[in-house]
Amino acid sequence: MTDRNLLDELMKLLSRPGPVNWALAEQLAGHVSGDPEPIDPWIADEYLELARLVQLKVPASTGLATDPTLEPVLVGRKEWARLHLRSFRYLVDPMADRLDGMGSSPLGGLMKPLGPALLGMNAGALAGMLSTQALGSFDTGLPAAEPVGFTFHIPNIEGFASEHGLDPRQVRLWVAFHESVHEALLGQPWVRPHLIDLFGSVVSSMELDAGALGIWQEALTDPARLEEAFGQPGGMNALFGGGMNETLLEEAHTAMTMVEGYGAYLVEQASAGLLPDLTNIRSAMAEHLATRGDRSEFAGTLRTSSSAGVHGRGTEFCAEVGTRWGPAAVRRIWQGVDNLPSSQELDDVTGWAARVLLDDPFTG
């Protein structure tokens, strides 16, 4: 194929309609996630039974209401990526709005064909990468924009148990508890909207890098350079590499840390007596979280350094509040946005209590 024909084909790909090229996103997510993986029917039946068990156990043990209409979703990597792809649209929609706002300016003319493809590529790369790492929805380090149900990523769960020499039955139950608690927490009226707003605001604060735009502009005239540019990791990180609101980013990370930490705190209560290997599972999960992902990729800096399933800062905060002021004080954390601890208060539970429990310091 000549350079002219290659450029024509690339331009056709770039010219797909819409602010985000979701068709390209789906192709790339499927490519990154790999080949389909069959799921043994007997394993599927066990996961369905575990989902029914935890849906009864979590409300009875924690008082946290679960949604009985949520159906378990049993997936492999390719299905996980497809299911979650648009769940992270709040990370690309604000960027699309920014690019669209350039209008008829010279940069706007450049980004009209380029922006949707870049956004689609990076959304697809994110979903595909996470599909190779996540055990469910609870451990992505990012909130899903809408409920996706109990997501059991069976090949990853089974692989995690095998790699760390864990009892697979206990790991399956542990994931089921976390999925149930996670969806119940995000189902609270204010939690999911607050998280999405925080992360969306961080993305909106990201500044365009004029130098990176110039590189892309030059690449559009040369097929070889264009192909090379698309092959570079973190394309949108480079394009929006002019900085972001670090205060908003810290607030978003703190809120997500609390969701994950409170989830681990509740799982420990709900699974009492059912997971004798809980300590070993948590240690293995800590190792798993520490070794996954490249934070130079798109959205890498936005993702929380996840402590999902681990006895991290959020879990320790909830445990200390419960020890000092009782279970009712822990529930006060989740009564509204204003009751969430700040990043500083995560390490100063007394300061949080003075602010939130001052009207009733003996809550419990």
- In a domain, residue 189? The reply is yes
Taking only Cα atoms into account, the Rg of the chain, rounded to an integer number of angstroms, comes to 22
* 126: in domain: yes
Q: Note whether residue 162 is domain-resident.
A: yes
Task: Give the number of domains in the chain.
Answer: 1
In a domain, 257, yes or no: no
Residue type, 72: P
CA angle 75, 80, 82 (to 5 degrees): 125
| 212 domain residue, yes or no | yes
Residue ranges in the chain assigned as alpha helix (H): 3-14, 22-33, 41-62, 77-84, 93-100, 106-131, 154-163, 168-186, 191-205, 210-219, 223-231, 235-239, 246-270, 278-291, 313-325, 327-332, 349-356
d(CA 222, CA 124): 24
Greatest CA separation for the chain: 77
Structural domain contains residue 35: yes
Residue 169 domain boundaries: 3-244
pLDDT in 10s for each residue of the chain, 364 residues:
444 454 555 566 556 667 888 888 888 888 888 888 888 888 889 999 999 899 989 999 888 888 777 778 899 999 999 999 988 888 888 888 877 766 666 565 666 667 787 788 778 888 888 899 999 999 988 898 988 878 899 999 999 999 999 999 999 999 999 999 999 999 899 999 999 999 999 888 877 766 666 666 666 566 666 656 655 544 555 566 667 788 998 999 999 999 999 999 999 999 989 999 999 999 999 999 888 755 445 555 676 677 888 888 999 999 999 999 999 999 999 999 999 999 999 999 999 999 999 865 444 4
Q: What is the pTM assigned to this prediction?
A: 0.86
CA distance 12 to 78: 26
